[in-house]
Amino acid sequence: MNQREYEVMYRIEDRYWWYIGIRKIARTILDKYMPRGGRCRVLDAGCGTGGNLNMLSRYGDVVGVELSREVVKFLKNRNYCRFATASVTDVPFRSGAFDLVDVFYVNECLPDDTLALREYFRVLKPGGFLYMSEVAFEALRGEHDLAVGIVRRYTRRDLGRRLEAAGFEVLRTTYANTLLSPPIFLLRRIRSIISPVSRPEEAKSDFDRAPGFLHAIFKSTLFIEAFLLKFMNLPFGVTVIAVAQKPAS
């Protein structure tokens, strides 16, 4: 991810409709598996500029891991010091240290996501949970991917198979950001034709592009999806989500 995108992330992630909505979805799903207000140990793998730390603290003590040294100043601005500057493919914590590992749009940017999945498995306690959200469907690839360094997009089946190969028991897979996926697809196709970009340093993410008057509408669509996800899986979307468990034995 280029430096500009880290700055954009830090500036908007506490108020932007997409971040708020996706965290609402994460809470809705995780609340079924994790005790609130408990004494769990949580790893935010690839914590970025720290926007998920408050949400994850509802389940226990949170520690972050982030490879980019560019984000250190942002984490310190949040008065957060419980993080390690390291790769998710080589997590600097002992085996079986965590009850929950949260992976928020990280593996999609890794050259080899298999190494990261093995590390998540290693640092989880037996019976511990992994929550992953990643980008979905190659057809939705666009300038956004170039700006934030996305190298792969997943399907439910693909992500599930990768998790099983790493030793996990897959408890749930679903898509999200479903209602907005048709216009997102069209806008990315139109943008790629009208103003194609080929270099990462020239690319801009989709974040903070939507006019302000649409933010409440877009956030509402994700809140609707969060409600639906209490009862059902969604059939397609911009995001794919998985919940997996390390076998207890």
Q: Give tens-digit pLDDT for 36-45.
A: 777 899 999 9
Under 8 Å between Cβ of 23 and 225 = no
SS3 185: helix
- Has residue 2 got a pLDDT over 70? no
To the nearest 10°, report the CA torsion of 158, 241, 56, 142: 90
Q: How much is the pTM?
A: 0.93
Q: Give tens-digit pLDDT for 92-119.
A: 999 999 999 999 999 999 999 999 999 9
Q: Which amino acid is at 123?
A: V
- Alpha-carbon gap, residue 149 to 34, rounded angstroms: 31
Q: Which of 121, 37, 103 is nearest to 65 (CA)?
A: 103
- Alpha-carbon gap, residue 45 to 59, rounded angstroms: 15
Structure tokens at 132: 């992953």
Q: Give tens-digit pLDDT for 165-181.
A: 999 999 999 999 999 99
Using pLDDT thresholds of 50, 70 and 90, give the confidence band for residue 12.
confident
Indicate the helix (H) or strand (E) that contains 130: strand 124-135
Alpha helices in 64-180 (DSSP H): 72-77, 113-123, 143-148, 156-165
Q: What b/e sequence results for 38-62 when a residue is b if at least 16 CB atoms lie within 10 Å of its CB, and e otherwise?
A: eebbbbbbbbbbbbbbebbebbbeb
Q: Which amino acid is at 164?
A: E
Between 130 and 209, the higher pLDDT residue: 130
| CA-atom Rg of the chain in angstroms | 17
Domain range summary for the chain, segments of one domain joined by +: 3-245
To the nearest 10°, report the CA torsion of 187, 193, 198, 203: -30
For the domain spanning 3-245, the CATH number is 3.40.50.150
Q: Give tens-digit pLDDT for 63-83.
A: 999 988 888 888 888 888 788
CA 98 distance to own-chain centroid: 18
HSE, side-chain direction, 13 A CA sphere, residue 29: 29
Q: Which of 79, 115, 121, 130 is nearest to 96 (CA)?
A: 121
